[in-house]
Amino acid sequence: MKETTIITFKKIKMKNPVLIEGLPGIGLVGKIAADHLIKERKAVKVATIYSPHFPHQVLMRKNGVLRMLRLKFYHAKAEKNDLLILVGDVQPLTSEAHYELAGQILDYFKKCGGKQIITLGGYGTGERVGEPKVFGACTHKRLVPVYEKQGVLFGKTRGSILGAAGLLLGLGRLQGMHGVCLMGETHGGYVDPKSALCVLDTLGKILGTKFERAELEKKIKEGEKYIKRMEARAAKGPEGEMLPPPAKGDLSYIR
């Protein structure tokens, strides 16, 4: 395999398709949200992406059979749009690889007739918050007030958007596409289903639909119990004394 390859399983005619990207990144916020969306909408897998730009390994499964690292496209319905949801195991290893893969993804999306892109990710702050905010960065200034009406906060973030979450929007704009990156506020040091749920709720407002919350709310409760146990252990020194809280980290970027 010398270049990224997209294998199509099912061709579907889409109405006003929106590309939803949720690949692994900070707090796995985008991945959790996109995976939940696929399950909740009973999305159908339509294509698989393999690439020599992924890490040089295969995954071993419980049944004893290995498989290649991959990304997948799923098709689902919303009230006004068809959704093309991109999820997967990994992101590429180099800058050149990211550009090549993003180009292939956009070519596929263009053939589906799509112009709107919404990428999902986490914005690391190094702090835990009660109710995560959803920050945004969009392709065009005229879109800022449109997404602000759905509760997205603009101008509150700094740094770069790494990987597919940023590059799909940047390259998409060059091809006449438009959209927004939704960034859920998160600590950045652990998996964060709570931030993912806030991102998913905001996505639902943009698409004019609602998503089932029960399963993610269950994961949130389980995650909070685990974090409290870990924090209690970390707060104790080698002889059981309490240690000062860690300094705020500079994690303000997303992937």
* Structural domains of the chain in order of their starting residue, each with its CATH number: 8-54+67-234 (3.40.50.10900)
Which region, left, alpha or beta, applies to residue 208 given φ > 0 means left and ψ of -120 to 50 means alpha? Answer: left
- What pLDDT score does 250 carry? 45
CA distances from 163 to 28, 78, 91 (A): 13, 26, 7
pLDDT of residue 229: 76
Confidence at residue 241, expressed as pLDDT on a 0 to 100 scale: 53
Task: Find the length of the chain.
Answer: 255
Sign of torsion, CA 154 99 36 12?
Answer: positive
Containing 199, the helix (H) or strand (E) segment is helix 193-207
Q: Is the pLDDT of residue 242 over 80?
A: no
Distance between CA atoms of residues 206 and 144, nearest Å: 12
> pTM of the prediction?
0.89
pLDDT tens-digit map of 108-164: 999 999 999 999 999 999 988 889 999 999 999 999 999 999 999 999 998 999 999
Q: With residue 129 as reference, give the H or E element that holds it.
A: none
Average pLDDT (87-112) is 96
